[in-house]
Amino acid sequence: MVTGLKYLTLLAAVLACSPPGRPPDEVQHVEDGYDLWLRYRPISNEMRLAEYLDAAAYLVVEGSSPTLRATRDELTTGLLGLLGTELPAETRVSRDGAIVAGTPGESAIIAALPIAEELRVAGEEGFVLRAMSVAGQQAIVIAANEDVGVLYGAFELLRLIQTQRSLRDLAITSAPRIQRRLLNHWDNLDRSVERGYAGSSLWEWEALPDSVSPRYRDYARANASIGINGSVLTNVNANAQVLTPEYLAKVATLADVFRPYGITVYLTARFSAPMEIGGLGTADPLDPSVQQWWAGKAAEIYRAIPDFGGFLVKANSEGQPGPQDYDRSHAEGANMLADAVGPHGGIVMWRAFVYSNELPVDRVRQAYDEFTPLDGAFRENVLLQAKNGPLDFQPREPFHPLFGAMPETPLMMELQVTKEYLGQDTHLAFLAPMWKEVLDADTYADGEGSTVGSVIDGTLHGYPRTGIAGVANVGTDRDWTGSDFNQANWYAYGRLAWDHALSSEEIAEQWIRLTFSNDSAVVAAVQVMMLASHEAVVNYMTPLGLAHQMARGHHYGPGPWVEGGRADWTSVYYSRADSGGIGFDRTATGSNAVAQYFPPVRDRFADRDSVPDDLLLWFHHVPWTEPMRSGRTLWDELVHRYNAGVDTVRWMRATWETVEGKIDEQRFLDVQAFLRIQEKEAEWWRDASILYFQTFSDMPIPAGYPRASHPLSFYRSLSCPPDTRKPRCEAIY
């Protein structure tokens, strides 16, 4: 119990941001974004601080594994920062106010507690957090069946304290819904990052294995704090060199750093590696010499990295080599690799993002058409990795029709945390609402309630292995992600990977409190901005179900006029704009891609009267003059949506101004500058798109809406610099 003079002394130290025993210059924190949501700044709420100091007088962590040492370190660091006092470590509970952490296997204290049922529910990676009596004293218990669960529980406790939740009636049992929760890094060996907007790759390949950056540990801590347990280090457009002994030694060093934080390392496998680094004349998956080569390579990898997770493979897509080069199926290619890693406990994640070199009738049909005939043909340690939608990470897509359509093949979902098509580092676009749209969508594969979430977590079809992947948005920028608000998408991905039932509102509020402030005015203002941001971007980029209207190559800024070359790499292929209307007919009168969905989803999407407005032009070619549910014509509704996007960004800017002085100045100014850019670029998107589509509709802009500042020729002439990191068009400012 902390009372009297001791409490007042501690409180004064905390409010002065100078924990006892530490000189002021050691605790001055520059808010540059590096700490992410693990800021551990002093609690200024006196009532909560008193409660936490009473509850956390000392620390008992039984066990000496690297993971439990990491747990002890995190609790010590976090509580020192939050409470302003270092908790003494003890080996037994002797008085009120202890935090007790451990597993029944390593802690006699935990083993003696009446929480066996809670631990059963927690499973292999979950944890139990309880305020309860231990040895006759009040304590906070962090218990789990495995060490990594204790670590996850420690982060949850710190999160509760950071967000100033009461611990008095603490009773949480939490377990991940999905087994493998991975970040996919599209990082190249030269340290460039495909679709990366936050600097270079974190992995310093030239310095490894001898020099180990401290950022590796901080990266692992950040991932563990939100439940991510796997990292695919290399680009899906793979380089076979990463499988050579030189690079495997480097990968092993990273694995050693990540291991205490529960992070398993995976690599991308280039299908033609036996030819490129193995000296073989073929990569045919049915050739015995190829099979032997991969088996030997897998054994070599596992000697270097005993807990190696397995391979992620992109094959026969966008020119990548694969089994179809030898007239073999995707299943035959995946199974060959699965047989190589299977004896070591590894898996193969085979990407379903495929499309052939021949121009298709409709590109969004191809994955379903190629993979559904192979359901049940894959080895048990193969997971098929499908994007959230059938096209390519667009601002809005319907859910991928493969979800629910392959009951005999575990499907894992691939999300893009990096915002390739959503304003990259510049635009505020909180992606949890977009991901929730997909996760909560009902496939009707086994009747009502067959959500996409229930497919990927294995409950619908009984998948023995489950997974989810997020294409990472991190790099060497000091703030990790290129902007403060991009951190929220990394955080949201991890939280949804752990529990996809969480709401966007809940995740946003947590992140704001952890990252900026517990001030209710800040939380309210920033949360409403975040929750509105994705819809704003959809409106000014691709309203009403339009897709792929971005500029060619870098995908930054509008390019609805893009044509020439391969048709399904152009914007005009997807808009199908002509004098009669706009939109891609995917009903029975068109490509019939809608037939890939189960009824009643199929019927709802196919019917012009029931299809959601948000997906109208994805599934239908609609006349410009057709009335919409709003009472406007399609043309007027399109203009309205573009303007609504701009108006929302303008409102977001004004809302952000209300928190000035309530968060640190530097991050306030950084966000303010990005919002200024976003507003200008939203206007650019609106004006360029409306002027272009007006050439087909030949209809006036409705009264009350602004006219473009420039003619269409001006917008078509803009050429963003060929810098994939910062491809902004300064001419529009």
List the catalytic residues: 318, 392, 420
Q: What are the φ/ψ torsions at residue 412 (nearest 5 degrees)?
A: -115, 150
- 558: tokens are 């509008």
Place of tokens 């699965």: 338
Terminal-residue alpha carbon distance, the chain: 59
Q: Which amino acid is at 552?
A: R
Residue indicated by tokens 């977009």: 434
**Strand ranges (E), 46-97:** 58-61
Q: Which tokens in the block code for residue 270?
A: 């280039």
Q: Return d(Cα 456, Cα 468) in angstroms, integer.
A: 7
- The answer to whether 99 and 60 are in contact (CB under 8 A) is yes
Strand order in 58-61's β-sheet? 58-61, 98-102, 137-143, 127-134, 171-174
Q: Which two tokens stand for residue 173?
A: 């049992």
Beta bridge partners of 581: 578
Asked whether 584 and 616 are in contact (CB, 8 A), the reply is no
Cβ partners under 8 Å of residue 77, min gap 6: 40
User: Hunting for tokens 């819809």 — which residue is that?
Assistant: 535
- As a whole number of angstroms, the distance between CA 33 and CA 473 comes to 14
Say how many C-beta atoms besides its own lie within 10 A of residue 564's C-beta: 9
Name beta bridge partners: 385. Answer: 351, 412
Residue type, 386: A
Structure tokens at 335: 């199974």
Residue the block writes with tokens 């304290």? 161
Which backbone phi and psi does 29 adopt, to 5 degrees? -105, 125
Helix (H) or strand (E) holding 647: helix 634-657
Three-state SS string over 196-244 comes to: CCCCCCCCCCCCCCCCCCHHHHHHHHHHHHCCCCEEECCCCCCCHHHHC
148: which 2 tokens? 């990594």
Q: What sign has the CA pseudo-torsion 34, 36, 38, 39?
A: positive
CA-CA distance, 392 to 387, in Å (whole number)?
7
Nearest alpha carbon to residue 364 among 390, 401, 338:
390
Tokens of 650: 């303008």
